[in-house]
Structure 1
């Protein structure tokens, strides 16, 4: 079997694709955890202050985003 030397240049496209897919998954996971945390923190601020802007608005939007992520997790095909 001939020695091909180092990594074949075509493999770098595969490595780049794998890194892109992995980073997308990590970003999606962090975004979901961040939405839940932000909803909790801003929800507490809204509850304590009673002011809708900005705490109530951000809490509501974050809660909707966390719910969207949760629903999409349960609806994806297995």
Structure 2
């Protein structure tokens, strides 16, 4: 069993982004979304550490953030925070997709 350090790092990035958004701008929605999605990504990383084929929670969380933050980045053209989170989330989606292709699901 190997620990999913990349997944835990991604979860910490997302959660800390929400905390920083709250600290800088007083944005409660940023805090709530950052902690929610960071928590989901953290649980997903834990699940992957237990069973490397169990990528679904991480994939849903990072896929959702890719779409939402990608649209925010497209509309605002501001790298921070939308572009950073969209890029990191897209990398996670790619990593998880490769993991799925390497280890096919057994019925």
Bucket of the pairwise TM-score, normalised by the shorter protein: 0.5 to 0.7
Runs of 4+ in 1 over 2 A off after TM superposition: none
Pairwise CA RMSD: 2.1
- Structure 2, unmatched stretches of 5+, are 1-45
Q: Once the 2 structures are TM-superposed, how far is the Cα of residue 76 of structure 1 from its aligned partner?
A: 1.6
Paired residues, what number? 55
Q: Tell me which residue corresponds to 2:63.
A: 36
Distance 1:63 1:35 in 2: 7
TM (normalized to structure 2)? 0.46
Match of 2:81 in 1: 54
Displacement of 1:67 after TM fit?
0.6
Q: Matches of 1:56 and 1:42 in 2, distance apart? A: 7
Listed as ranges, the gaps of 5+ residues in structure 1 are 1-22
